[in-house]
Amino acid sequence: MKNKKVIAILLTSAVLFSCSFAQVDISSLIKDFVSEDWKTVQEAKIALENLEGEAIPDVIPLLDRDETVKLKNTGSLIYPGAQRFFGHGQIVDYAIDNLSIRAGWLLEELTFNNFGFTGLHLPDEELVGFIKITFPDYYNNSQNRKKIESSAADELRNLIHKLCIAEAKTWWKAESGSWTRLQALVDGLHSFDEKRQVKALFYMRNGKTRCTGLDKDYYIDNISSLIVRLSSSDTKRVSEHARFILFDTQFTWLDDKLK
């Protein structure tokens, strides 16, 4: 009986240690993700994406960190805020020196959603149109519309930022109990939002992070018909991505997803 009690205590301790380690690990990744070194940020983003839904509760609070942490050692990275332009390099369409926007970048790439974070660096003259298209319910309120149309560019950017954050938080409140990356991928492909379609297709072609359940059988049964349909899209970047996936009859694009 005494031995059984000792074993039970040891097992309990092991479980608690395992849970504690997992939490510390995510906290460490979050710390790296908000750092100033680009390589460290990249590696943390990949690791957080690989955690899929497990990472999201720790990423959501970053949306409220409206702070600037200027990236260093960015090399040829092309993004809003880059100090030098080499004419080539990785493109990140987010102003990721801002930690809140950096969190939005991770969330949108992980979930294949379009909360609107790419709109924050648009030219001044495009901001009203962006709000109209991305946040129609807000824009179509007559009082909101009057205020928007009389606002300065900085005020519009602040408004877009607030709307993005609210959109992401509302989405997670509704989805947190049942969200999976696999279903999110399918939803992105089904979406009529071009940005969501492109994110999902680009991930399928080039993504190197985990999507649990995405294998050849699932693709054939649940996704292949969507890719065929999207390959005929009038939107060039949608149809091109879809065709490249169809042309890959060896399913090499799946290799990185299964690791």
pLDDT at 105: 98
pLDDT of residue 19: 44
Task: Show which of 109, 125, 153 is a domain's final residue.
Answer: 109
Q: Are residues 173 and 190 in the same domain?
A: no
Boundary-marking domain end, from 145, 179, 213: 179
Q: Does 134 share its domain with 213?
A: no
d(CA 51, CA 101): 20
Question: What is the number of domains present in the chain?
Answer: 3
The token pair at 117 is 């974070």
Q: Are residues 43 and 92 in the same domain?
A: yes
Q: What is the pTM of this model?
A: 0.87
Structure tokens that stand for 93 in this block: 């369409």
Written as six digits, the tokens of 143 are 């009082």
pLDDT tops 80 at residue 9: no
Are residue 89 and residue 159 in the same domain, yes or no?
Answer: no
CA distance 146 to 155: 13
Per residue in 217-241, pLDDT tens? 999 999 999 999 999 999 999 999 9
> What distance in Å separates the CA atoms of residue 41 and residue 25, rounded to the nearest whole number?
15
